[in-house]
Structure 1
Amino acid sequence: MDAIRQGRGAVAAMFLANGFVMGSWAPQIPLILPRFGITESVLGLLILVLGLGAVGAMAGSGWLIARFGTVGVLRIFAPLAMIALLLVVLAPSMPLLALAMAVMGAAIGCMDVAMNANAVEVERRMGRAIMSSSHGFWSLGGFAGGMGGGVLIAAMGAVGHAALACTLALLAVLLALPRLLRADLPATDQAAGDHPAARPGHWPKGLAIYILGLMALFSMVPEGAVLDWAALYLKQELGAGIAASGLAFGAFSGAMAVMRFAGDGIRNRFGAARVLRVSALVAAAGILAASLAPGSAWAVLAFALAGLGIANTVPVVISAAGNHGGAQAGAAIALVTMMGYSGILIAPSMIGWVAEAVGFRWTFAAMALLLLVVAAQAGRAAGADGAGPGRH
């Protein structure tokens, strides 16, 4: 039992470190434009490279997990993911910057799938769900990285901040690696779908599961928009300084962390469909308020409200996919997860092109419309109430 408890703490540390690096990346984004003299649309292409690297790595990580186990994959890709931000910040030219961002995306993508797979094994051994709180640790890491990033950049410069953030994250990963639960799922279970990327070509049939996938996508597009563009929105359109611009994603992630740690209890009391509907409406209100904010302080508060709402949308949708009738659970989860992650990893690059044409206020307002669609379709997630361990 001690090994299981240590494994629970170790996988939580992986989520925390991953979120911390992503949160530290957010306040670095606005600095890329003046550094290379590029526009938002070019930055959008670079972010697309990062997203394609992550999604491509996710598609192949199932095979790696089946071959080497979750701990084996994390031993290679978790340390790489922790230092990739420094590689991006140190890149001396546009081609090397694009390469560094592709490496960062691939490393974070592989780490993401492997740590989720390891969390599934911990759930099985503990006999209860831990996935929502694991994602809560990711949000907590994002909160710490985003809230402190702007201040540290202002005090230490971009390179100093990246070096410190990567060192702290790497230390956390190296301390956690020996304590990860090593009793990985057998290959037969992986092929059955417990690791969503293990059978990337096997998708379920039926329109209903694809609607759930769109709901995951529409929930994660706003999350990706806040991660990659909120700092630039505060800086360019609301006049915030470097230190203040990093607060948007930090507040968003902090609010998400609080709500994710409370998410399972709330869902058990009120039911999945009701929680999803209210969550999506609150998120839509927060994103809309951010787009209308008269100043950076109001925008930060609005993004925090959006984080409270978005926190439990994707866990509920993925849980509903796992209990979707008429489809193999693993294939359904795989489809919904991949569609959802496209929203946070690939869609933000397109947001940059739109924002350059119409501005960030209109762009964020459009995110609210996506969340209203999720609220309208919330009844489709009622099946999540039958979820057991590993379905959260």
Structure 2
Amino acid sequence: MISSQVRAGRWAVAACFFTNGMIMGSWVPQVPLLAQRFDVGEAMLGLLILTLGLGAVVIMPVCGWLISHTNSRAVLRGSAVISAFALLLVALAPNLALVALAIALFGASIGGMDVAMNSNAVVVERRMGLAIMSSSHGFWSLGGFTGAGLGGKIAEALGPIGHASVVTAAALALLSFALPRLLVERQPQQASSDTSPKVRFPSNPGVYLIGLLALLCMAPEGAVLDWAALYLRQEMGANLATASLAFTFFSGAMAVMRFMGDGVRNRLGAVTTIRISGTVAAVGMLAAGASSNPAIAIAAFAAAGLGIANMVPIVFSAAGNQPGVPSSIGMSVATAIGYCGILVTPSLIGFVAERTGFSPVYMSFAVILLVVVLLAERLRPADFIATQPSPDVPR
């Protein structure tokens, strides 16, 4: 029997996923606006995106350590409030130097929130004895769909500051519901017998391999998030509202599949689900890169979203269920490595795309996704949710 408190905690963490996705989706229309405001090309945009990624990757292990010494709810509350204002700071920044600092803070707050909400989702999974990670990421995708889909029209009507102000207000409204209802785990490892609370990297090599797989799964997502709008606008002549639809449909397709994902994964198992999903995603990315028409490219990105949808949640569940590794530490290490794919790799894409265009870049991701298919067996720990001891029960 699942208590009302646990059910409330499940919806609270879902709201956090939605909010995080909405803020990240709202970043999509801000990218071409940044290029217009400061008259910069893909290479400089790549450097700015790199600061976003570096802010996230630097803070993620710190948040993992904080969670292991406090709890995921406390870290999630703090990082979520900062995230709500971060995009507005980017829009308000008057020059490139301050934009870079604001983007780094944006990345750090989003990244810290990501580690904390994924760790909290593991708490909920174990309390419920059911997989909820795919549907939680479904709420993230639904948030991304909302942020990117509405963001292009709002940004065209209100400009970057007006758009970011709307995002901040919406985020604060959602968080006022979610943050008081989050579940909290006790941390028995902080007993008085623990005389050396040191930051340690896990010795289990499986955590780092799973982090690498997370990177390979998330790199295509980052490429669509940061560059698809510019790809459609510059190479296919689409307007801003149409160009934003690439990530909108990509994220919407992910949301639909992720809400189905827990049932699919419970029926087929993590390994088979990864193999099927990775193949579909590879075909979609190949078609998106080969297209010369915005409508076809948008449809291909949607197909890729269907495939990628359940890959990242399965990877994160595997990271949080590694034998002998606390879920918060395994999650933070795998998330930090994985987020190099969504937050750091896209900065390199800018340098490559300035010389080759985006088409070959997107086609190359088909090969990357097939590597994950070949290594799918490594993600079998994602099936062990119910057999792991709950992190909020002293042991």
Residue 193 of structure 1: aligned partner: none
How far the C-alpha of 1:33 sits from its partner, in A, is 1.1
What is residue 280 of structure 1 aligned with on the other side? Answer: 278
Distance in 1 (CA, whole Å) between partners of 2:267 and 2:12 is: 29
Name the CA distance, whole Å, in 2 between partners of 1:373 and 1:311: 17
- CA distance in 1 between counterparts of 2:303 and 2:360 reads 18
Identify if the C-alpha distance between structure 1 residues 389 and 239 changes in structure 2 by more than 3 Å, giving closer, same or farther: farther
Contact 1:138 1:257 in 2 (8 A): yes
Please state how far the C-alpha of 1:158 moved relative to its aligned partner.
2.0
Q: Which amino acid aligns with 1:91?
A: A
Over residues 307-364 of structure 1, what are the superposed CA-to-partner deviations in whole Å (9 max), with x where a residue is unaligned? 0000111223344455667x64746555433321211111111111111111100111
Distance 2:215 2:82 in 1: 27
2:374 aligned residue: 376
2:66 maps to which of 64, 70, 76: 64
| Corresponding position: 1:150 with 2:148 | no
Which amino acid in structure 1 is aligned with residue 93 of structure 2? A
Residues 62 and 199 of structure 1 are in contact (CA less than 8 Å); yes or no, is this contact kept in structure 2? no
Cα–Cα, structure 1 residues 321 and 108, in superposed 2: closer, same or farther, change >3 Å?
Answer: closer
How does 1:190-339 map onto structure 2 within 5 Å? 201-206=200-205, 210-321=208-319, 328=325, 330=327, 333-339=331-337
Decide whether aligned partners of structure 1 residues 180 and 271 sit closer, same or farther in structure 2, where only a CA change above 3 A counts.
Answer: closer
Aligned to 2:344: 346
Deviation at 1:13, TM superposition (A): 0.9
1:81 corresponds to which of 73, 80, 83? 83
Instruction: Structure 2: give runs of 5+ residues left out of the alignment.
Output: 192-196, 390-395
The 3 A distance-change label for structure 1 pair 282 and 76 is same
Distance 1:27 1:65 in 2: 33
Q: CA 1:374–1:62 in 2, change beyond 3 Å: closer, same or farther?
A: closer
Q: Is the 8 A contact 2:144 2:251 kept in 1?
A: yes
Equivalent residue pairs, number: 381
Aligned to 2:28: 26
Moved more, 338-347 or 315-324: 315-324
Which residue is equivalent to 1:137?
A: 139
CA 68–374 in structure 1, closer or farther in 2 if over 3 Å, else same: closer
For normalisation by structure 1, the TM-score amounts to: 0.90
Specify the alignment match of 2:177 in structure 1: 175
Q: Contact 1:143–1:251 at 8 Å: present in 2 too?
A: yes
Matches of 2:213 and 2:157, distance apart in 1: 41
Q: Which residue of 1 aligns with 2:365?
A: 367
Is 1:48 the equivalent of 2:47? no
2:393 is matched with none
User: Deviation digits for residues 127-162 of structure 1, max 9, x if unmatched?
Assistant: 323222111111110011111111112222222211
Return 374-383 or 213-222, whichever deviates more.
Answer: 374-383
* Partner residue in 2 for 1:184: 185
> Displacement of 1:248 after TM fit?
0.8
The equivalent of 2:392 in structure 1 is: none
Local SS of the residue matching 1:129: coil
Do 2:115 and 2:335's aligned partners in 1 also have CA atoms closer than 8 Å?
no
- The separation in 2 between residues aligned to 1:118 and 1:321, in whole angstroms, is 13
**Runs of 4+ more than 6 Å apart:** none
Residues 1:17 and 2:19 aligned together: yes
For residues 235 and 199 of structure 2, the distance between their equivalents in structure 1, rounded to whole angstroms, comes to 41
> Which amino acid in structure 2 is aligned with residue 274 of structure 1?
T
Distance 1:343 1:138 in 2: 17
Q: Compute the RMSD of aligned alpha carbons.
A: 2.4
- Contact kept in structure 1, 2:69 and 2:190, CA below 8 Å: no
Gaps (5+ residues) in structure 1? 191-197
